[in-house]
C-alpha cells in the first residue's frame, strides 16, 4: 500500500521521492525501509539542495590530510608528528524546541565526530544567534542554550575556548546553535569510518537505545516550523559523564590498533552510522535490531533504527581483536553488543530476530536526489542598497554614541556567557576568551600552538549574499591572523531558510560562491562543514548566516598576540587604511546603523586581495615580534576596536589622527580588512616599513597613554565609563 501524505510529511519526503524509492526497490517499501530512506534522503543527511553547490569549495592543500566529505571531520597536518581534526555542526532546530538538551546534545554530537577519527577532543567553540534579548522567549532560549553548552562541555572535560553571539529579530523563534570541536591526533593514528571486511562484527557501544531523537534528521532538521506542534520527542537527551567514559574507552581501543573502523551515532542514529560506514567500505551489512540494548520496552525495529539516542558509537573491530576490544570496554564499564556483521553483497539488511524487516541497496540509500533550483535575486535587495543613510549627527554626540555602541548586545563583553564555561581544563589554553580575537592553545611537546576562531555576520549576507559569504571567511581567518597564527583551513556551518524558495536558494548559492572565492584568495581550503536549511517559522526565514570556523598555526607559541594595549607610550596604528575617513556607504550593514538608527541597508564590500595582504602581514609582524597587540575592526568599527583594546589592556589611549568626511562613518563604519595594532616606539618604524613592503596601507592614530579614550576634537571619555558600558551591556539587555 502506498504511503500516506501524513507518513511522508513525518519523514520530510515528497510524493515524487517516494515513487523513486519504489522504483529503486521495484516494490513498495516496508515501514523500516521507508524510515531509513527518509533519514538518509533528508536534507540533513542527504544534502539534497546543497551538495551541488558545495563542490565549489576548494578542499585540498599542502597540509590537508583529510578533506571535506571524506570522513566525519577534516584533518590538517600541523607538524611535529601531529594533526588537528576539526569540524563545525549545527543543532538549530532541536535547540529551538528544547534549548538545554538541544544545545547540550549538539556539543556531544560534534565531540563524537572528532572522536570517531581517533582524535582526542581538546577544544570547543560555539556560534550562537538569538532574537532581541528584550523578548522573554528569546531570553528563555538564550539561558537554556548557554546552560546546555556549559553543562555538557564542563562535565565532559573539554575546554570551551571561544565563540560569538549575535542578536537580531530574524532569529526570533529560530535560534542558531553552531558547535565546533577541535581534536589532536598523532600521525598514523587515524581511524576511518569505514567497514571494509565482510564478516567483521558491528559493535554498538555506549548508552542504551531509547525513543529520543526519532525523526530528528528528517522530521525536525529538514522542514520548517509551520504550526504549533509538539516536537519534544524528536530532541535527544545527553549524558556528558557517559560521553567522557566513551571518549577514553574508544581512544584506548583505537590506540591499541584494534579497530578497522569507528563511527558515531548522530543524526538518523543506527541507520546513517552503519549505512555510511559500509558505503565507504564498499560493502553491505546485516543488522539484528533484537540485539540492540534498549532502555524502553516494546520498541519497534523502526524506532531502533531511527533513534538518535546520544553517547553511542559503532565500532568495527579487526578480525581476531574482538576479545581485546571487549576487555577494554568492560574495564571502562561500558555497555556493548554485537548487533550484526559486514557483508559483501552491498545490501543494507535489517532483521528482527529471524525476520527480515528491511532490505535495500546501500547505493540507493546514500544516493539522495539532488536539486539545483534556479535562484532568484531577492526583490528588495536593490532597494536596500539604495536606501538613504541617516543624517550625520553632531560631533558633540560622539561620547554618548561610543558608550551606547559598547553597550550594544552585539558588541558588549561576552563575559556573562564565557564565565560559565570552563576554558582552562586540560591546561592548554594560552589565550582565553575575552583576551584576543581567537583562542590559542599550546601543542604539548612542541614549540607550536594553534589558534581557533568562529565567526559570521548574517546582516552582511542579507544585504549582499556573495559579499557576506566572503566576509565570513575573511573575518574568521583575520581573527586567527591577529594572534599571529597563519590560517591553515576552515570549516563551516551554512544556516539558511527554505531552499525551495528561489530567493533563499539565491542567497545560499551566492554565499557559497563568495566563501569559495575568499578561500581561494586566502589559500585556506574547506575541510569539513555542515548545512542547516529550513531555518524559518511560518514563512519568515532567518538572515542567511554562513558561519566559518578557522584554524591557524603559530610556529612559536611565544609569538602569540592578544588584543589589549600593553604599555604607555606604544604607538597605535591602523593597518588596512591610509587615513581615517568616513563615507555614508561605509555604514552599510553596520551595528551602528542597526542599533542606533534601527536601519539595515547599504551594500557591504570587501577587497579579497587586500585582505590576503593584510593577513600575511599580521603573521610576519608577529613572527618578527613587532606587535604588542592586534584587534580587528568588525562589529562597531574602528572606535569600538580601539576602545576594546584599551578596556582589555586597562590603559587609556590618546589619538590625534585627523578624521575627515562623516565622523560617525569613520568611527563606526565596518569597512573590511582593517586591524588596530600597537607597537613599541622603537619598533614602529620597522612595522611601517613591513606594511609598506607588503602593500598594506597604514596610518598612525596616536599613542597608548592615560586613563581616558581621547580623540582630539571628537571623543573624550574616561576609560572606566567605557569599560562599565562594555561590561554591563549584555547583562542589562538580558535583564529585559
Q: What is the arithmetic mean of pLDDT over 662-691?
A: 97
The dihedral through the CA atoms of 559, 562, 563, 568 has a sign that is: negative
pLDDT tens digits, one per residue of 511-526: 999 999 999 999 999 9
What span, in angstroms and rounded, lies between the C-alpha atoms of 462 and 384? Answer: 10
Q: Which residue has the cell 556573495?
A: 466
pLDDT tens digits, one per residue of 687-732: 999 999 999 999 999 999 999 999 999 999 999 999 999 999 999 9
pLDDT tens digits, one per residue of 584-600: 999 999 999 999 999 99
- Which band of pLDDT confidence, cut at 50, 70 and 90, is reported for residue 225? low
DSSP class per residue in 221-243 = TTS-B-S----GGGS----HHHH
- DSSP 8-state assignment for residue 8: H
DSSP class per residue in 560-609 = ---SS--STT-EEEEET-SSEEE-GGGGTT-HHHHHHH----S-----HH
Do 216 and 297 lie in one domain? The reply is yes
What span, in angstroms and rounded, lies between the C-alpha atoms of 124 and 159? Answer: 6
Q: Is the pLDDT of residue 227 over 50?
A: no
- Backbone conformation region of residue 12, classed left if phi is above 0, alpha if psi is from -120 to 50, else beta: left
Q: Is the pLDDT of residue 478 over 90?
A: yes
Do 657 and 589 lie in one domain? The reply is yes
Instruction: Tell me whether residue 286 is in a domain.
Output: yes
pLDDT at 230: 44
- Which band of pLDDT confidence, cut at 50, 70 and 90, is reported for residue 61? very high
Percent of the chain past pLDDT 90, that is, above it, reads: 90
How many C-beta atoms surround the C-beta of residue 660 within 10 A? 12
Query: Structurally, how many domains does the chain consist of?
Result: 2
Question: Which residues lie below 8 Å from residue 458, measured CB to CB, with a gap of 6+?
Answer: 129, 166, 168, 170, 171, 468, 495, 542, 543, 544, 545
Q: Which residue, among 540, 437, 553, has the nearest Cα to 486 in the 3D structure?
A: 553
Instruction: Tell me whether residue 500 is in a domain.
Output: no
What span, in angstroms and rounded, lies between the C-alpha atoms of 284 and 301? Answer: 19
Q: What is the arithmetic mean of pLDDT over 83-111?
A: 95
Percent of the chain past pLDDT 70, that is, above it, reads: 97
Instruction: Tell me whether residue 59 is in a domain.
Output: no
Please give the backbone phi and psi of residue 358, each rounded to the nearest 5 degrees, phi first: -160, 140
Q: Is the pLDDT of residue 535 over 60?
A: yes
Indicate the residue among 339, 368, 397 that finishes a domain: 368
Question: Which residues lie below 8 Å from residue 642, measured CB to CB, with a gap of 6+?
Answer: 572, 653, 655, 676, 701, 709
pLDDT at 173: 87
Helix (H, G, I), strand (E, B) or coil at 265: coil
**Cell numbers describing residue 734:** 538580558
Domain enclosing residue 715, as ranges: 371-412+561-736
What span, in angstroms and rounded, lies between the C-alpha atoms of 194 and 196? Answer: 6
How many C-beta atoms surround the C-beta of residue 118 within 10 A? 21
Q: Is the pLDDT of residue 648 over 50?
A: yes
Question: Which residues lie below 8 Å from residue 724, measured CB to CB, with a gap of 6+?
Answer: none
Helix (H, G, I), strand (E, B) or coil at 349: strand
Do 266 and 303 lie in one domain? The reply is yes
Instruction: Tell me whether residue 77 is in a domain.
Output: no
- Which band of pLDDT confidence, cut at 50, 70 and 90, is reported for residue 214? confident
Instruction: Tell me whether residue 588 is in a domain.
Output: yes
CA-only gyration radius of the chain, Å: 26
Do 391 and 318 lie in one domain? The reply is no
| Strand-pair partners of 653 | 704, 709
Do 322 and 375 lie in one domain? The reply is no
Q: Which residue, among 45, 67, 153, has the nearest Cα to 108 in the 3D structure?
A: 153
Do 707 and 602 lie in one domain? The reply is yes
Cβ atoms of 274 and 346 closer than 8 Å: no
The dihedral through the CA atoms of 504, 509, 510, 514 has a sign that is: positive
| Strand-pair partners of 694 | none
Strand 659-661 relative to strand 580-582: parallel, antiparallel, unpaired? parallel
Q: Which residue has the higher pLDDT, 198 or 267?
A: 198
pLDDT at 229: 45
What span, in angstroms and rounded, lies between the C-alpha atoms of 530 and 454? Answer: 14
Instruction: Write the CATH number for 687.
Output: 3.90.650.10
What span, in angstroms and rounded, lies between the C-alpha atoms of 167 and 117? Answer: 35
Instruction: Tell me whether residue 702 is in a domain.
Output: yes
What span, in angstroms and rounded, lies between the C-alpha atoms of 491 and 114? Answer: 13
The dihedral through the CA atoms of 692, 697, 699, 703 has a sign that is: negative
Q: CA triplet 255, 257, 260: central angle to 5 degrees?
A: 120
Distance of CA 89 to the CA centre of its chain: 6
Question: Which residues lie below 8 Å from residue 247, measured CB to CB, with a gap of 6+?
Answer: 111, 115, 120, 121, 156
Do 382 and 305 lie in one domain? The reply is no
Predicted TM-score (pTM) of the model is 0.95
Indicate the residue among 300, 333, 368 that finishes a domain: 368
Do 262 and 380 lie in one domain? The reply is no
Q: Which residue has the higher pLDDT, 217 or 21?
A: 21
Q: Which residue has the cell 539488511?
A: 349
Q: Which residue, among 454, 516, 510, 443, has the nearest Cα to 480 in the 3D structure?
A: 454
Do 289 and 321 lie in one domain? The reply is yes
pLDDT at 224: 57
Do 356 and 378 lie in one domain? The reply is no
Instruction: Tell me whether residue 453 is in a domain.
Output: no
Do 313 and 223 lie in one domain? The reply is yes
Strand 653-655 relative to strand 708-711: parallel, antiparallel, unpaired? parallel
Straight-line distance from the first to the last Cα atom of the chain, in angstroms, rounded to the nearest whole number: 54
How many Cα atoms occupy the beta-carbon half-sphere of 692 within 13 Å?
A: 7
Q: What is the arithmetic mean of pLDDT over 477-485?
A: 98
Do 352 and 378 lie in one domain? The reply is no
Report the run of H or E that residue 126 belongs to, with start and end. strand 120-130
Please give the backbone phi and psi of residue 475, each rounded to the nearest 5 degrees, phi first: -70, -40
pLDDT tens digits, one per residue of 315-371: 999 999 999 999 999 999 999 999 999 999 999 999 999 899 999 999 999 999 999
Indicate the residue among 368, 397, 420 that finishes a domain: 368
What span, in angstroms and rounded, lies between the C-alpha atoms of 135 and 138? Answer: 5
Instruction: Tell me whether residue 88 is in a domain.
Output: no
Q: Which long-range contacts (CB under 8 A, 24 or more apart) does 685-690 make?
A: 686/624, 686/626, 687/573, 687/621, 687/626, 687/627, 688/573, 690/617, 690/620, 690/621, 690/624, 690/626
Question: Which residues lie below 8 Å from residue 79, measured CB to CB, with a gap of 6+?
Answer: 446, 448, 553
Just list the catalytic residues. Answer: 44, 91
Please give the backbone phi and psi of residue 410, each rounded to the nearest 5 degrees, phi first: -90, -5
Instruction: Output the CA–CA distances (angstroms, integers) from residue 661 to 227, 279, 288, in the order listed.
Output: 50, 61, 73
pLDDT at 234: 56
Q: Which residue has the higher pLDDT, 268 or 611?
A: 611
- Which band of pLDDT confidence, cut at 50, 70 and 90, is reported for residue 237? confident
Q: Is the pLDDT of residue 275 over 60?
A: yes
Q: Which residues of 301-317 are buried (b: 16+ CB within 10 A; e: fewer)?
A: bbbbbbbbbbbbbbbbb
Amino acid at each position: 500500500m502506498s504511503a500516506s501524505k501524513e507518513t511522508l510529511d513525518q519523514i520530510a519526503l515528497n510524493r515524487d521521492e517516494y515513487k523513486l524509492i519504489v522504483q529503486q526497490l521495484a516494490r513498495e517499501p516496508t515501514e523500516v525501509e521507508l524510515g531509513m530512506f527518509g533519514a538518509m534522503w533528508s536534507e540533513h543527511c542527504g544534502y539534497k539542495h546543497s551538495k551541488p553547490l558545495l563542490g565549489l569549495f576548494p578542499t585540498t592543500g599542502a597540509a590537508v590530510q583529510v578533506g571535506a566529505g571524506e570522513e566525519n571531520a577534516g584533518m590538517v597536518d600541523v607538524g611535529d608528528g601531529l594533526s588537528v581534526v576539526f569540524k563545525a555542526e549545527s543543532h538549530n532546530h532541536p535547540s529551538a524546541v528544547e534549548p538545554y538538551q538541544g544545545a547540550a546534545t549538539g556539543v556531544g554530537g560534534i565531540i563524537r565526530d572528532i572522536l570517531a577519527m581517533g582524535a582526542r577532543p581538546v577544544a570547543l567553540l560555539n556560534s550562537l544567534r538569538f532574537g532581541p534579548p528584550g523578548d522573554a522567549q528569546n531570553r528563555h532560549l538564550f539561558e537554556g542554550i548557554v546552560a546546555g553548552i556549559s553543562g555538557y562541555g564542563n562535565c565532559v572535560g573539554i575546554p570551551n575556548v571561544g565563540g560569538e553571539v549575535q542578536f537580531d529579530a530574524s532569529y526570533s523563534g529560530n535560534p542558531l546553535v553552531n558547535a565546533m570541536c577541535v581534536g589532536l591526533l598523532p600521525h598514523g593514528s587515524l581511524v576511518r569510518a569505514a567497514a571494509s571486511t565482510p564478516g567483521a562484527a558491528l559493535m554498538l557501544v555506549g548508552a542504551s537505545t531509547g525513543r529520543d531523537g526519532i525523526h530528528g534528521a528528517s522530521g525536525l532538521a529538514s522542514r520548517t516550523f509551520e504550526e504549533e506542534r509538539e516536537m519534544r520527542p524528536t530532541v535527544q537527551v545527553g549524558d556528558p559523564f557517559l560521553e567522557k567514559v566513551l571518549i577514553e574507552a574508544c581512544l584506548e581501543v583505537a590506540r591499541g590498533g584494534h579497530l578497522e573502523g569507528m563511527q558515531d551515532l548522530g543524526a538518523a542514529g543506527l541507520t546513517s552510522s552503519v549505512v555510511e560506514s559500509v558505503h565507504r567500505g564498499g560493502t553491505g551489512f546485516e543488522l539484528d535490531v533484537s540485539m540492540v540494548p534498549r532502555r524502553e520496552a516494546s520498541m519497534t525495529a523502526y524506532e531502533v533504527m531511527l533513534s538518535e539516542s546520544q553517547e553511542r558509537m559503532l565500532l568495527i573491530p579487526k578480525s581476531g581483536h574482538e576479545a581485546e576490544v571487549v576487555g577494554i570496554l568492560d574495564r571502562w564499564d561500558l555497555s556493548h553488543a554485537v548487533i550484526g556483521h559486514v557483508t559483501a553483497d552491498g545490501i543494507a539488511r535489517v532483521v528482527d530476530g529471524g525476520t527480515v524487516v528491511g532490505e535495500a541497496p546501500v547505493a540507493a540509500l546514500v544516493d539522495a536526489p539532488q536539486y539545483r533550483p534556479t535562484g532568484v535575486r531577492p526583490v528588495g535587495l536593490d532597494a536596500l542598497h539604495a536606501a538613504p543613510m541617516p543624517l550625520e549627527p553632531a560631533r558633540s554626540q560622539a561620547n554618548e554614541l561610543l558608550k551606547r555602541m559598547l553597550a550594544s548586545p552585539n558588541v558588549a563583553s561576552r563575559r556573562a556567557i564565557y564565565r560559565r564555561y570552563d576554558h582552562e581544563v586540560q591546561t592548554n589554553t594560552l589565550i582565553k576568551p575575552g583576551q584576543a580575537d581567537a583562542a590559542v592553545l599550546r601543542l604539548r611537546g612542541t614549540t607550536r600552538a594553534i589558534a581557533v576562531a568562529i565567526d559570521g555576520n548574517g546582516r552582511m549576507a542579507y544585504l549582499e549574499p556573495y559579499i557576506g559569504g566572503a566576509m565570513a571567511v575573511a573575518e574568521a581567518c583575520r581573527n586567527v591572523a591577529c594572534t599571529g597564527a597563519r590560517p591553515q583551513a576552515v570549516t563551516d556551518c551554512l544556516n539558511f531558510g527554505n531552499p525551495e524558495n528561489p530567493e533563499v536558494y539565491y542567497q545560499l548559492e551566492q554565499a557559497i560562491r563568495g566563501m569559495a572565492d575568499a578561500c581561494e584568495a586566502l589559500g585556506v581550503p574547506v575541510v569539513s562543514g555542515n548545512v542547516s536549511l529550513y531555518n524559518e517559522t511560518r514563512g519568515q526565514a532567518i538572515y542567511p548566516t554562513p558561519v566559518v570556523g578557522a584554524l591557524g598555526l603559530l610556529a612559536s607559541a611565544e609569538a602569540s598576540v592578544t588584543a589589549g594595549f600593553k604599555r604607555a607610550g606604544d604607538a597605535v596604528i591602523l593597518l588596512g587604511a591610509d587615513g581615517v575617513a568616513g563615507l555614508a556607504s561605509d555604514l552599510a550593514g553596520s551595528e551602528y546603523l542597526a542599533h542606533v538608527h534601527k536601519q539595515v541597508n547599504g551594500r557591504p564590500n570587501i577587497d579579497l586581495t587586500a585582505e590576503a595582504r593584510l593577513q600575511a602581514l599580521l603573521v610576519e609582524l608577529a613572527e618578527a615580534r613587532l606587535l604588542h597587540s592586534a584587534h580587528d575592526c568588525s562589529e562597531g568599527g574602528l572606535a569600538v576596536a580601539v576602545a576594546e583594546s584599551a578596556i582589555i589592556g586597562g590603559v587609556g589611549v590618546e589619538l590625534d589622527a585627523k578624521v575627515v568626511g562623516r565622523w560617525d562613518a569613520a568611527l563606526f563604519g565596518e569597512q573590511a580588512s582593517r586591524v588596530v595594532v600597537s607597537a613599541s616606539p622603537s619598533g614602529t618604524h620597522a612595522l611601517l616599513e613591513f606594511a609598506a613592503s607588503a602593500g598594506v596601507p597604514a596610518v598612525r592614530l596616536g599613542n597608548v597613554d592615560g586613563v581616558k579614550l581621547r580623540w582630539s576634537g571628537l571623543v573624550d571619555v574616561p576609560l572606566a565609563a567605557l569599560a562599565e558600558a562594555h561590561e554591563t551591556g549584555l547583562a542589562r539587555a538580558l535583564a529585559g
